[in-house]
Amino acid sequence: EVQLVQSGAEVKKPGESLKISCKGSGYSFTSYWIGWVRQMPGKGLEWMGIIYPGDSDTRYSPSFQGQVTISADKSISTAYLQWSSLKASDTAMYYCARRRVTAGSYFDYWGQGTLVTVSS
């Protein structure tokens, strides 16, 4: 069974750093891209970027380039999303998802989400 399990909710202060994780199981982790998607409170889904764990090839949405860093450790089947200096506007639910490229590019399995709250 394909599963993406994300790390737990985080409460941080502005300026702090953070790294959240997404662990894949039940499939070949190095053979599929993993994407990150943001949902701010009361808003829709926004694509942040994707990584191919096989070679760490990474692509970012122009809206998130330079704001976050996406990485992966294929030895433990885990992808990461990190911030070096959080802002209140980073408060959101963050989802990881496995990307498929048959019949277009879409996400077939999703993590349960990680709620990040940034508040002073």
Partner 1 sequence: QSVLTQPPSVSGAPGQRVTISCTGVSSNIGAGYDVHWYQHLPGTAPKLLIYGNTNRPSGVPDRFSGSQSGTSASLAITGLQAEDEADYYCQSSDSSLSGVVFGGGTKLTVL
- List of residues contacting partner 1 (CB under 8 A): 35, 37, 44-47, 49-50, 59, 61-62, 95, 97, 100, 102-108, 110-113
Pairing of strands 92-100, 114-118: antiparallel
Q: Judged by CB, which is closer to partner 1: 29, or 33?
A: 33
Token pair for 87: 């802002």
Q: By C-alpha distance, which of 26, 1, 8, 3 is closest to 94? A: 8
Q: Judged by CB, which is closer to partner 1: 11, or 15?
A: 11
Residue type, 89: S
User: Considering the complex, what minimum distance in angstroms separates the CB of residue 20 from partner 1?
Assistant: 15
